[in-house]
Protein backbone atom coordinates (compact mmCIF):
# COMPACT_ATOMS: atom_id res chain seq x y z
CA UNK A 1 0.00 0.00 0.00
CA UNK A 2 1.14 3.55 -0.75
CA UNK A 3 0.25 6.50 1.47
CA UNK A 4 0.16 10.24 1.00
CA UNK A 5 0.35 11.99 4.35
CA UNK A 6 0.39 15.40 5.97
CA UNK A 7 2.44 16.10 9.07
CA UNK A 8 2.06 19.04 11.40
CA UNK A 9 5.44 20.35 12.49
CA UNK A 10 6.19 21.93 15.87
CA UNK A 11 6.06 25.40 14.29
CA UNK A 12 2.52 24.64 12.98
CA UNK A 13 3.66 24.33 9.35
CA UNK A 14 2.48 21.38 7.28
CA UNK A 15 4.62 18.85 5.41
CA UNK A 16 3.24 16.54 2.72
CA UNK A 17 4.94 13.33 1.62
CA UNK A 18 4.36 9.76 0.47
CA UNK A 19 5.52 6.38 1.74
CA UNK A 20 4.78 2.66 1.71
CA UNK A 21 5.13 2.35 5.53
CA UNK A 22 3.44 5.23 7.29
CA UNK A 23 4.28 4.18 10.88
CA UNK A 24 7.96 3.77 10.10
CA UNK A 25 8.07 7.00 8.10
CA UNK A 26 6.67 8.94 11.06
CA UNK A 27 9.38 7.43 13.30
CA UNK A 28 12.06 8.37 10.76
CA UNK A 29 10.79 11.95 10.58
CA UNK A 30 10.73 12.26 14.38
CA UNK A 31 14.23 10.78 14.69
CA UNK A 32 15.55 13.71 12.64
CA UNK A 33 16.44 11.49 9.68
CA UNK A 34 13.38 12.31 7.58
CA UNK A 35 12.98 15.15 5.15
CA UNK A 36 15.28 18.13 5.46
CA UNK A 37 12.23 20.35 5.96
CA UNK A 38 11.04 18.50 9.08
CA UNK A 39 14.44 18.10 10.76
CA UNK A 40 14.41 21.56 12.29
CA UNK A 41 10.71 21.44 13.12
CA UNK A 42 10.45 18.43 15.43
CA UNK A 43 8.41 16.82 16.73
CA UNK A 44 5.98 16.19 13.90
CA UNK A 45 2.49 14.73 14.21
CA UNK A 46 0.58 12.73 11.61
CA UNK A 47 -2.57 14.70 10.78
CA UNK A 48 -3.86 13.15 7.57
CA UNK A 49 -3.33 10.28 5.16
CA UNK A 50 -4.79 8.68 2.06
CA UNK A 51 -4.16 5.15 0.74
CA UNK A 52 -3.31 4.30 -2.87
CA UNK A 53 -2.67 1.02 -4.63
CA UNK A 54 0.20 2.33 -6.75
CA UNK A 55 3.19 4.61 -6.26
CA UNK A 56 2.21 6.53 -9.38
CA UNK A 57 -1.22 7.42 -7.99
CA UNK A 58 0.24 8.34 -4.59
CA UNK A 59 2.97 10.58 -5.96
CA UNK A 60 0.50 12.29 -8.29
CA UNK A 61 -1.76 13.05 -5.33
CA UNK A 62 1.22 14.15 -3.20
CA UNK A 63 2.14 16.69 -5.89
CA UNK A 64 -1.47 17.87 -6.07
CA UNK A 65 -1.71 18.41 -2.29
CA UNK A 66 1.66 20.20 -2.23
CA UNK A 67 0.15 22.80 -4.57
CA UNK A 68 -2.67 23.54 -2.10
CA UNK A 69 -2.54 26.62 0.09
CA UNK A 70 -2.42 25.97 3.84
CA UNK A 71 -6.12 26.68 4.37
CA UNK A 72 -7.07 24.00 1.85
CA UNK A 73 -4.74 21.50 3.57
CA UNK A 74 -6.28 22.43 6.93
CA UNK A 75 -9.74 21.67 5.49
CA UNK A 76 -8.51 18.24 4.32
CA UNK A 77 -7.22 17.58 7.85
CA UNK A 78 -10.42 18.79 9.52
CA UNK A 79 -12.65 16.70 7.23
CA UNK A 80 -10.39 13.67 7.75
CA UNK A 81 -10.66 14.01 11.53
CA UNK A 82 -14.44 14.38 11.41
CA UNK A 83 -14.76 11.38 9.09
CA UNK A 84 -12.55 9.28 11.33
CA UNK A 85 -13.81 10.83 14.58
CA UNK A 86 -10.32 11.84 15.70
CA UNK A 87 -10.22 14.36 18.53
CA UNK A 88 -7.77 17.19 18.91
CA UNK A 89 -5.16 17.00 21.64
Break the chain into its structural domains and give their ranges.
2-83
Asked if 39 and 11 touch (Cβ cutoff 8 Å), the reply is: no
For residues 31-49, give the mean pLDDT.
94
Q: Look at residue 88 and tell me whether its pLDDT is greater than 80.
A: no
For residues 35-64, give the mean pLDDT.
96
pTM for the model: 0.92
pLDDT tier at 85, thresholds 50, 70, 90: confident
Asked if 58 and 2 touch (Cβ cutoff 8 Å), the reply is: yes
CATH number of 2-83: 3.40.1440.10
Amino acid sequence: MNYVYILRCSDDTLYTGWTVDIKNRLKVHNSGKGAKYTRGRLPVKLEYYEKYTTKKKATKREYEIKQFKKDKKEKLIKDFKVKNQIREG
